[in-house]
Structure 1
Amino acid sequence: GIYITPSDDPYYIYNHNENENKYLPGLYRLKLVNQSTVKYSWLKIKPKFLTENLLEVMKQDVENTVKGLARSFHANTNGSLSNYSSFLTFEEIEALTILNNSYKDFNLNTYFLSHSPRVRAGSYYHWTRNKKRNLDDKSIKKMSIKKYDKELYLKDFHATVDISENRVLKRLLLEILQVIMNVKKSIEKIPKNLMSSDLKKDFTLLQKYSSKLNYLLKEGWLRKVQIVQKEKGISNAYLDYRYIFFKDLNWKLKHISNFQPQFSRQYQYYWHRTDLLYEIWGYIKVIEALKGLGFTPVKGWIFDNVDLDFQELKPGTCVEMKTNGMYKHFMYLKIKYDDEVLPEEEEKVTLSNPLWHSSPHNRPDIRIEIYDKNMIFQSTIILDTKYRRLKNMNNFGKAGIVEQLNAYRYQLLSPYPFRADSYQKYNLFHRKNEDHQVIDVAALYPG
């Protein structure tokens, strides 16, 4: 979509010496249009500081983490079990949700199905002394070839379970069992010290599913049913709720990816901008780490969307989190992404935006503001993502970060920390008379 006006002057498409420009890693098609011919070529731009494999891993990590965090929040706010784990894919997490919600009906339907399957009267021929059946053409033909003393070759009937709807059912159960075994294998790979109590419950649930299905398939009446792949429908069983249940359950498990929430198109741009991708990755990892420390998301960004619609991460985004009861003191956090501290003087500060700046460095990538239960501002932590090598950062100057981090540490100010009567004694005996309330700064860098 970029067009260059013809000129005698050379046009540099890519110059590796121009490190200040933000080039987008990827594969690009070049099209040269002359009066008589059209020529094509390709340009490949590799990411700096990361291998292409690591870049791909980071993309997948961002997607899986965002989906997992949003799904966990969605599950908790709707009262269902949260199964989020960064070790599992989105499809596996959704499969666990479906299986959790379906277990009660699964248990009932497997019980009733094991005791009273659908059957059909099937015909068969055999030699018998019972003369209750009439002779037909097949009987006469068979008896003309071979005879048994006082026995007739007659057609009889018996109930059979080897019918089309049961063949389809057996295939469906095998496919459901395969999904269950795959998720079990993924959970078994998670180190025990990193496995949440929810996942342990899920693993127990999967074992119940697999044991009931294996019993039905190997020891129940289904062992007499053929496995046929070509049978497509179970039209004869559409009014039987047991068969409909397993048909629907299998369909849900097989079509999870069709309903996978889609990222905003803006993310496709982020995936090419490695520096932006790294900022987003850092912000998401901070939220994930805080969640691991016992903070629960309350609102903001993906935590505003009950339909799991992943909107782009815009500058100024604020996710709010609170302690979930595991700490003695209640804390409320505001985690702000690429949010500019606007006031340049103390008089313009407000309770909702308690900081002002006295230096040009006023836009950190990640800012964590800490409040108490009464929303009294306490302090701030600054984290800045730096898409560059460590050896180029630990100095002053254009490429270094020491000057910038110092500015964040000592020149982001606030008159509001602990401004409440309840903190009067603390302010008198413990707190220094300082306006700068950034208690820590840090830089995040690749590797």
Structure 2
Amino acid sequence: MDIHTNLPFEVEFIVLNNKEEKDEDKSVLVETFSSDIYSDNQKIPVFTEYQYIKVSFRKKVSRNIHAQLYMNYFEFLSEENNTIKFDELQNSYMEIDNIATIHTHKHNITGIPLIPGYYQYYIKYENDIYYAQFQITPQNMTINVHKDMVNQIEDHSLGLARDFLRNQSAISNSKSDIIATTLDKGIFLLQKKYILTHALEAIYNSPITSFKNNYHKTKTNKSLKIDSKAQTLNNKNNIDLKNLSIQNSKVYAKNIMISLQNNENQYVLQSLNNYLQILKGSINQCELSIVDITQIIRELKYYKNNPLLLQKRESEIKNLNKIKTDLKILFSLINKYYNRRKERREKYVYVTNKIMKYPGYRDIFTINRYLNSKIEDNIQNLYSFKWKSSDTLYEYWSFIELIKTLQNIGFEVNKGWIFNSNNKKTVIPRIPDGTNVIFEKGKVKLDLIFNKPICKKVNKKENYWIRHKRNKPDLRLDIYNENSYVKTIILDAKYSPADKIWKQYKVVEQLNIYKNMIVSSQNPDYHVVKEVIALTPTSFNNGKVINIDKNFSVTIATFTPNLENVELVNRLKQLIFL
């Protein structure tokens, strides 16, 4: 039986508030486990992405038992999680009768939230393994809206929604709509490294051969095979086969030769060339990501506001360097076999299912079948794969959607970001701070700027500066008329419920700072910000999708996938053109 209810242990997910008090209504006790890794008959506990969660693994019997709870989702906290151990494969686990933290959210300490999705954990007990899952849902949108947000980001810029924090990866319980990046495919090949190695050895040692008829001159003192084609060649060259002894020379004869030039071997060469291109691209993507994450680490060290994330990112660099090394090793291995074969290489060949009869060849065929189709179905299960955090995704999505919104208003993109011709085919791991897109419509020019700090003192090269240390809005839209700077609209992507924004003192204070503390570099008495707009993924409780406070020049507007906020679009038009 797959489902087990009478095991001598239990797991409790303890949800706590900011005061570290247990929330009885949200905490969940798990006593049912499955021996089938793919079982879907269990009731799955559901939590939200920013909840403060601990997990307790304890026995239900008085006798001593030996069991280990394996999870790759523990928060790295040296003080709280000193019970966590690692096996030889660096999988984290804890022994029975211990408690560990999955995600911290207390006081000023916030860990790395689990990404929405399904998470699997398992327990080793008496040489058996028992599986279970829990689900993390988005805090401020439905799981389907979150999925649409991810898909829209990936559709616009392949790889942009993804991250590499391995121990925070969620598994997939449904078919993915995501297109595999080159790095996804490279990591898939790494997973199949040993199968691939043995396949190439088998093919090299025992290749599929075919017989080929070859016609050339052969000495008459040897055994000859003269068929109709050989006869024709001899006649054309005036060779009299009836007087061979007199001629004492050579005649055209049929010679049967073993050849490697067949569709199956051409298919292998074509596949190896494809693998080499994938691995080369994967190595390049690793290097781009390492450069990008190194910049994030520099920022984390500068601001000193998230030591947990800093540790994770530094670990991430090590993981990516290891992946890059493994990719290079696999590239060299495949290249060695590819260079051994000097035969003609066709652009594309077709093979039938009979290739499955031959050792090595069938492995190449199976790997290609996954690369060409099924890899998308399993992409979320690939090594070290996960989405970025929801708040980051929402910032990215807001930037991308604002670009589309301005285009729909009638503005044309002039230059910037991926619209530069040399960037169109680049896989983008992150939108760098300071990224901008320039639009034009008649005499009006817009400069949409992502996450760029505003100068904190007068700088004549800049149109404005800010009289406050909080100087980094998510988005700002600088507006020009006939190339002369006119005004700015600040847009801040708040991954928070619409009704709560007015109740969050620090958020309201931040919005007011942007409105009142940004002044012209030419005239410090002139406040350049026309309005501050807080974007939120939720509607208000009364169903409204926009709230304009004209006294403070602050607007809160719903901005979310699959909802066209006409009122927000009209407001932007008014602010731009008036």
Q: TM-score, normalised by structure 2?
A: 0.35
Q: TM-score, normalised by structure 1?
A: 0.44
Higher share in helix: 1
Higher share in strand: 2
